[in-house]
Structure 1
């Protein structure tokens, strides 16, 4: 499985100022049908599975909702590698969940990553294969480069974990 990675500099508005952020794009093909993948992408169970080993979440409300809902905001503590607190409280606002185009967009932020806007896009390649894309715009002031470096490893890990999800469905 080949994972493609691209990082580019982009200008964004942050608190009324133009700042330079990183846009990280990670894509891969996953052997899964698009409807199954789309239903899974909308669940907190999938998030917890694909991030396992890199991040553990401790939601402030006790647990995440089972299904993400457009317009909702959830807050969580993030433990990098399962034990290292990072960024204080991390907020995720579910800006868009587009069933027709298979796009899920969040605006996220915490004390370190001032902007972490994440867009997941699924595109059908065949009946049993999709193109999965994570696009993340990251701004963390002087920490932007370091956060992006870590995010690259994190999202590659997530997409590798997606391969396990697909394999489990085939074996299932």
Structure 2
């Protein structure tokens, strides 16, 4: 009986480690020369994946499409999305929530920074609803084939900031749960 209890608590602790943790904080940012009230959303979890494989994947639009699946479908504009994100480039996509509900008009992603040494990516994003959607991805190697993964997003959408942030919180938790599938199935989106 004691062994069963230890096994149960061990499995529960493992499940809790992989469960995304989300924190929303009120912040003030500058938008078009004015101080405005925004939100900072931070979602983090541990992923059972080596940092090199995770880093290769996170630099691909194919990974974004996979982790968003089930909540958002992206339809790229123009020539589509590249095989890998490129610093200094701006990409436009139309988003459909649950695959069919138009959301935010054209969403633009400007890739501001990709730091291979520190495993971070920063983008400045915006659309009709979310005037500011600045996204920062950070990864840290925890050893033993595990990483700490964090999405940090600054969100401003005027009166809609709270609603957009609530949606974003669910979306990023969904994304990090989908990252667990990437790890479990050893998926590699750099090959696609």
Give the TM-score range, shorter chain: over 0.9
Return the alpha-carbon distance in structure 1 between the equivalents of residues 164 and 19 of structure 2: 23
- Find the counterpart in structure 2 of residue 29 from structure 1: 46
Residue pair 1:57, 1:76 contacting (<8 A) in 2 also: yes
The TM-score normalised by the length of structure 1 is 0.97
- 1: CA distance, partners of 2:20 / 2:65: 21
Gaps of 5+ in 2: 1-17, 188-192
CA distance in 2, matches of 1:83, 1:160: 22
Q: Which residue of structure 2 lines up, in the alignment, with residue 79 of structure 1? A: 96
Counterpart contact for 2:19–2:177, Cα < 8 Å: no
Q: Is the 1:34–1:127 contact (alpha carbons within 8 Å) kept by the matching residues of 2?
A: no
Please tell me whether residue 148 in structure 1 is matched to residue 165 in structure 2.
yes
The CA RMSD measured in Å over matched residues stands at 1.0
Bigger helix share: 2
1:59 corresponds to which of 76, 90, 112 = 76
The one of 20, 28, 40 equivalent to 2:37 is: 20
Task: Tell me if 1:120 matches 2:137.
Answer: yes
Structure 1 residue ranges (4+ consecutive) displaced by more than 3 angstroms after TM superposition:
none
What is aligned with 2:128? 111
Asked whether the equivalents of residues 122 and 131 of structure 1 are also in contact (C-alpha less than 8 Å), the reply is yes
Q: In the alignment, does 2:35 pair up with 1:6?
A: no
* TM, length-normalised to structure 2: 0.87
What is the deviation of 1:62?
A: 4.2
Q: Report the Cα offset of residue 4 of structure 1.
A: 1.1
Q: Deviations over 1:65-108 (max 9, x none)?
A: 11001111000101111101111110000000000000000000
CA distance in structure 2 between the partners assigned to 1:58 and 1:45 by the alignment: 12
* Unmatched runs of 5 consecutive residues or more in structure 1: none
Q: Deviations over 1:134-153 (max 9, x none)?
A: 00000000000000000000
Q: Which has the larger radius of gyration?
A: 2
Aligned equivalent of 1:90 = 107
How many residues align structurally?
A: 170
Shift of 1:159: 0.2
